[in-house]
């Protein structure tokens, strides 16, 4: 037989493009338009209904960036359309950008009830399935002039309403009433499904040729000059090939509607409120026509927004949940970043997310749903289990640039040994459209073939694109069982996971440790002030909850600020979203984040001060929110005082100072002839040269051991060019390391404090357009050398690092993560090792050889790199902190301006020292007028770290204590309380009892495995 495939396919393409698709609407008539341009920020529909509207013609421009215009659409159904399917079809000027990255709209009825979103791939609203001639049509369109910001990662001023300008950016194309020809519409879908499938089949497959000939017969039956009259006959020619069932061995796809909506990214938070509303209106409308629809939707925050701002849509969501069309998933307040949130914050993501879904919708979510976060902490499996989640889903690791993950369905094992059943959809997208190429890729790509036979496919347009469409649902119907294609079943993700577990759970492989994304490594650093705001807010919340709990237990009249703490926690959790905390949003988002963190910290400071004031009268005292005892130098009214204070307790300043160490606890500074300055106390001797760099750090307790690698200098600031291939804010590509400038020139090196309680040297440098001042501070009695840094950062597309070459032969580094730490090789033996050239650490990173270790502590830095450093006497290890970047997209002025942060060198550090030191740096001692208050709770094994102390969420007055084993070994300890306890339970993260705690006369007996998290609920007498 002659091969005429290309001819037939070309004929089909032209017929569909030129004749069939344009014929889906059989008739059109324009709607009359009028407009009211809302001043300033968006307004509620009630205000828009009272606006003053002016006539508006299609073809006119509208919408300065980030503005909102309200359009009235009026008309009536022509008498000739009686009984037809009539729709309003609206195009406010959609551009070639993808759905969600341009103009969007929400249609209301004449009374202001929201109906449906309007998006580039979803422009219609059904007016009547069987219209009545002469029926009036009155609609109101809320149109958002959101600009397309991310264009080839070029710098743009469009990312902030303050800089975006006033020029209108859209031209309104059309708003019509139209008759949908359902035969033609269904013909288009039939052809799309079959032709897409045909192109995925090999040329030697008979099925491919059967489809080709059926399409050819369809074309023969179709009169291109009478598509409406012949569409039904054309469809009949395709019925037989569409009816052939899938093979018994075909891959099974569990499909769930989806609309991944970034809670902020290339738009501000306020716009996400509207994006969610538009999409949720679409989905609830779609469910009325497609009862098989299941929409999987995460992020409790977005539900809360819709509940507050769109009560009509909220009622429809509740009905869809009850009817089984809507599946709340994810268990988290937002789809947060999964590297940088602190341990307690990640627990609260689950607490607040699960609680919202349970209380508001009666649903106990069962999975962690994070398709788009930039790598995943190895603490997650345990947190998931403790929150009552059984399953974990992500897709992001399909973005790895170096190594392909070897599994799609597997057990993920965390640092404590807990495992969670995990799935990576092999379709490699969370925005599937049911294109045959996507389904074929899912089947070919699926790593567990031969052991498992099913995978999950989330489908729908995201980021404000409107979610699943009726066309997708129609395709799913045709693909339910179609020869040559995977079988498609729309169902809840929970049904997929249960089925996959039953089929493969006993045989699934195990992946142990973090899920590191080999991309987007710069998100540990970009937008430093956002990260700093998060870190400080997390610790301020920890402190506020502790002292508020102490006040509530000590003073029965004190009202624990449940509502305030709940609201503040949710604000902090929101800003941990995976495009806010990572620094990958537009300037507007980060400007508002800085303002929000300032308000949060001010409010928490007031709450803490009020709580401290309710502890009773007293004298100036030191408050320690860390669980570890502290011996530090503090500044009180301009005077330095050396104090000792127990963990989680208070001590009068006078008594704390009186009980410090004797005369040996002193710090001194000396100048040497070669411009060097030597700082010394009983633990360290530190030498700073004329360039302001560390040339020697000797550990007195280790026999004067030199900490720095021979011939190398510490705290060396290094500047690299930083030009990622793409994804400016996100990526730190490996080629940045090819070029660097060492910042060795100092304008001044001066001794500014010379003891006896603290010695300090100030170093000032200028480079490029920037200026940095650093103070080395060594306090009496301290093993920690602080580097307090003030910088006016004015560089462009550079990355700044601080290097510490250490004389430590370390095979691996240990970096703090949530509720523990992970080890990573310092070598690059494999592609997996080499790809981890930038890593995330929380408050500390430690490198060690047998018998000796050194830690670097920080108060707001997450990005680090660790490399092996050969020298004349052996092999050392260089640890670098990544301090600042200056990408231009999506925020063209990222990080420009002044910054203040501290990092510290801790020689001779054990893991326990690093844990305690990191907490101390991040929880500065507070001075307030209070009495001596014994620690509310205490444990007698320092390997057990108390993470949080608070009152129970149910307002029972119970005290909740969360703690964990922090050193990576087993621990047995006794927890004692400073208040009488009637009983105690071990609970899950949501404070629901699991089992009675093991109590004795001395307290609660604790037995923890490595990195185990334990939540205890104590009932005060």
- Catalytic residue IDs: 372
Q: What backbone torsions phi and psi does residue 568 show, to the nearest 5 degrees?
A: -65, -40
Give the per-residue SS3 of 811-855.
Answer: CEEEEEECCEEEEEECCCCCHHHHHCCCEECCCEEEEEECCEEEE
Report residue 958 CA to chain centroid gap.
32
Residue 178 to residues 90, 128, 232, 317, Cα–Cα distance (Å): 10, 11, 20, 29
Q: Which long-range contacts (CB under 8 A, 24 or more apart) does 9-14 make?
A: 9/195, 9/212, 11/216, 11/219, 12/191, 12/195, 12/215, 12/216, 12/219
d(Cα 440, Cα 138) in Å, to the nearest integer?
Answer: 44
d(Cα 507, Cα 799) in Å, to the nearest integer?
Answer: 45
**Orientation of helix 182-200 relative to helix 470-478, angle to 10°:** 60
Class of residue 490 by CB neighbours under 10 A (exposed 0-12, middle 13-18, buried 19+): buried
DSSP helix/strand/coil, 548: helix
d(Cα 421, Cα 460) in Å, to the nearest integer?
Answer: 25
> Is 494 in contact with 254 (CB distance < 8 Å)?
no
The structure tokens listed for 8 are 């037939």
DSSP helix/strand/coil, 894: coil
Q: In sequence order, what DSSP letters do the residues of 351-408 get, joined into one string?
A: HHHHHHHHHHH-----EEE-TT-S-B-TTHHHHHHHTT--EEE--GGGG-SS---S-S
Q: In sequence order, what DSSP letters do the residues of 182-227 get, joined into one string?
A: HHHHHHHHHHHHHHHHHHHS-TT-HHHHHHHHHHHHHHHH--TT-H
> Is 789 in contact with 862 (CB distance < 8 Å)?
no
Give the full edge-to-edge strand order of the sheet including 419-423.
367-369, 391-393, 419-423, 409-413, 510-512
What separation, in Å, do the N-terminal and C-terminal C-alpha atoms of the chain show? 91
Nearest residue to 373 via CA among 340, 406, 416: 340
User: Which residues lie below 8 Å from residue 660, measured CB to CB, with a gap of 6+?
Assistant: 631, 642, 643, 644, 781
Report residue 683 CA to chain centroid gap.
41
Nearest residue to 848 via CA among 797, 899, 907: 907
Residue 784 to residues 312, 448, 596, 754, 803, Cα–Cα distance (Å): 58, 50, 32, 17, 17
DSSP helix/strand/coil, 138: strand
Helix, strand, coil tally for the chain in percent (to 5): 30, 35, 40
Please name the residue that has the structure tokens 């503005």.
67
> Is 427 in contact with 455 (CB distance < 8 Å)?
yes
> What single DSSP character describes residue 250?
P
Please name the residue that has the structure tokens 């001819």.
7
> Is 623 in contact with 542 (CB distance < 8 Å)?
no
The structure tokens listed for 3 are 């091969």
The structure tokens listed for 292 are 């098989």
Please name the residue that has the structure tokens 């793409």.
726
User: Is residue 668 within a helix (H) or strand (E), and if so which, with residue range?
Assistant: strand 668-671
């Amino acid at each position: 037989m002659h091969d005429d495939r290309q001819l037939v396919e070309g004929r089909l393409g032209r017929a569909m493009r030129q004749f069939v698709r344009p014929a889906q609407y059989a008739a059109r008539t324009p709607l009359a338009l009028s407009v009211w341009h809302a001043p300033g920020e968006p307004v509620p529909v009630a205000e828009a209904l009272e606006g003053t509207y002016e006539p508006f013609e299609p073809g006119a421009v509208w919408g300065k960036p980030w503005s909102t215009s309200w359009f009235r659409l009026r008309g009536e159904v022509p008498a000739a359309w009686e009984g037809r399917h009539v729709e309003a079809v609206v195009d406010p000027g959609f551009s070639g950008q993808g759905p969600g990255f341009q103009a969007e709209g929400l249609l209301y009825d004449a009374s202001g009830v929201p109906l449906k979103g309007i998006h580039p791939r979803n422009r219609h609203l059904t007016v009547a399935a069987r219209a009545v001639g002469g029926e009036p049509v009155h609609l109101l369109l809320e149109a958002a002039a959101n600009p397309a910001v991310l264009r080839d990662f070029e710098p743009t001023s469009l990312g902030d309403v303050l800089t975006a300008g006033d020029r209108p950016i859209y031209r309104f194309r059309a708003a019509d009433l139209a008759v949908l020809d359902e035969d033609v519409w269904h013909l288009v879908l039939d052809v799309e499904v079959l032709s897409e499938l045909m192109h995925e089949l090999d040329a030697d497959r008979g099925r491919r040729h059967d489809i080709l000939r059926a399409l050819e017969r369809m074309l023969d039956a179709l009169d291109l000059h009478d598509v409406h009259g012949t569409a039904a006959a054309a469809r009949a020619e395709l019925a037989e090939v569409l009816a052939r069932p899938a093979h018994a061995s075909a891959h099974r796809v569990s499909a769930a509607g989806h609309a991944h909506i970034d809670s902020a990214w290339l738009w501000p938070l306020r716009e996400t409120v509207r994006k969610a509303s538009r999409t949720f209106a679409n989905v609830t409308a779609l469910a009325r026509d497609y009862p098989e629809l299941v929409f999987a939707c995460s992020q409790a925050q977005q539900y809360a927004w819709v509940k507050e701002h769109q009560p009509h849509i909220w009622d429809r969501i509740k009905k869809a949940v009850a009817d089984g069309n809507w599946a709340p998933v994810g268990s988290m307040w937002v789809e947060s970043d999964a590297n940088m949130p602190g341990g307690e914050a990640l627990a609260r993501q689950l607490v607040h997310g699960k609680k919202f879904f349970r209380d508001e919708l009666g649903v106990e979510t069962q999975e962690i749903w994070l398709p788009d976060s930039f790598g995943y902490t190895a603490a997650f499996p345990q947190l998931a289990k403790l929150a009552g989640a059984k399953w974990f889903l992500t897709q992001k690791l399909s973005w790895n640039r170096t190594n392909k993950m070897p599994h799609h369905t597997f057990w993920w094992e965390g640092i404590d040994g807990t495992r969670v059943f995990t799935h990576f959809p092999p379709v490699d997208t969370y925005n599937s459209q049911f294109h045959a190429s996507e389904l074929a890729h899912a089947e070919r790509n699926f790593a567990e073939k031969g052991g498992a036979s099913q995978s999950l496919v989330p489908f729908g347009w995201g980021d404000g694109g409107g979610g699943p469409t009726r066309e997708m649902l129609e395709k799913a119907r045709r693909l339910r069982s179609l020869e040559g294609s995977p079988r498609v079943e729309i169902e809840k993700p929970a049904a997929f996971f249960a089925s996959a577990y039953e089929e493969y759970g006993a045989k699934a492989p195990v992946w142990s440790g973090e899920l590191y994304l080999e991309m987007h490594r710069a998100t540990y650093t970009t937008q430093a002030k956002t990260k700093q705001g998060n870190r400080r807010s997390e610790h301020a919340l920890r402190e506020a909850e502790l002292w508020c709990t102490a006040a509530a237990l000590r003073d029965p009249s004190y009202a624990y600020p449940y509502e305030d703490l709940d609201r503040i926690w949710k604000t902090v959790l929101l800003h941990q979203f995976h495009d806010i905390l990572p620094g990958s949003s537009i300037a507007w988002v980060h400007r508002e984040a800085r303002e929000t963190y300032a308000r949060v910290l001010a409010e928490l400071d007031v709450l803490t001060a009020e709580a401290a004031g309710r502890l009773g009268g007293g004298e100036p005292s030191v408050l320690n929110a860390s669980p570890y005892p502290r011996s530090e130098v503090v500044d009180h009214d301009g005077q330095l005082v050396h104090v000792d204070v127990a963990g989680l307790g208070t001590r009068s300043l006078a008594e704390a100072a009186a009980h410090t160490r004797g005369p040996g606890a002193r710090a001194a500074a000396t100048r040497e002839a070669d411009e060097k300055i030597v700082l010394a106390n009983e633990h360290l001797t530190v030498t700073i040269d004329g360039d302001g760099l560390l040339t020697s750090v000797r550990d007195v307790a280790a026999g004067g051991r030199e900490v720095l690698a021979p011939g190398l200098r510490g705290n060396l600031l290094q500047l690299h060019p930083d030009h990622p291939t793409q994804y400016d804010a996100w990526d730190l590509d490996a080629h940045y390391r090819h070029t660097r400038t060492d910042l060795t020139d100092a304008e001044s090196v001066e001794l500014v404090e010379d003891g006896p309680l603290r010695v300090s040297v100030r170093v000032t440098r200028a480079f490029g357009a920037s200026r940095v001042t650093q103070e080395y501070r060594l306090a009496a009695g301290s093993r920690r050398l602080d580097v307090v840094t003030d910088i006016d950062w004015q560089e462009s597309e550079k990355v700044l690092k601080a290097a510490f070459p250490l004389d430590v032969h370390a095979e691996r580094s240990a970096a703090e993560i949530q509720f523990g730490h992970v080890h990573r090789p310092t070598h690059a033996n494999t592609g997996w090792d080499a790809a981890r050239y930038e890593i995330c650490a929380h408050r500390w990173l430690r490198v060690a050889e047998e018998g000796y270790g050194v830690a670097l502590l920080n108060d707001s830095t997450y990005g680090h790199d660790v490399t092996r450093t050969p020298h004349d006497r052996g092999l050392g290890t260089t640890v670098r902190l990544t301090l600042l970047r200056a990408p231009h997209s999506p925020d063209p002025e990222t990080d420009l301006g002044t910054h203040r942060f501290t990092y510290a060198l801790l020689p001779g550090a054990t893991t326990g020292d690093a844990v305690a030191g990191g907490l101390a740096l991040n929880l500065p001692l507070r001075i307030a007028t209070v009495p001596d208050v014994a620690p509310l709770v205490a444990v007698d094994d320092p390997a057990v770290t108390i993470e949080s102390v608070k009152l129970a969420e149910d307002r029972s007055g119970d005290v909740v204590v969360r703690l964990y084993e922090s050193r990576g070994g087993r621990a047995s300890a006794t927890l004692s309380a400073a208040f009488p306890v009637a009983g105690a339970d071990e609970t899950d993260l949501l404070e629901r009892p699991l089992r009675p705690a093991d109590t004795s006369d001395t307290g609660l007996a604790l037995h923890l495995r490595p990195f185990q998290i334990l939540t205890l609920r104590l009932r005060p007498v």
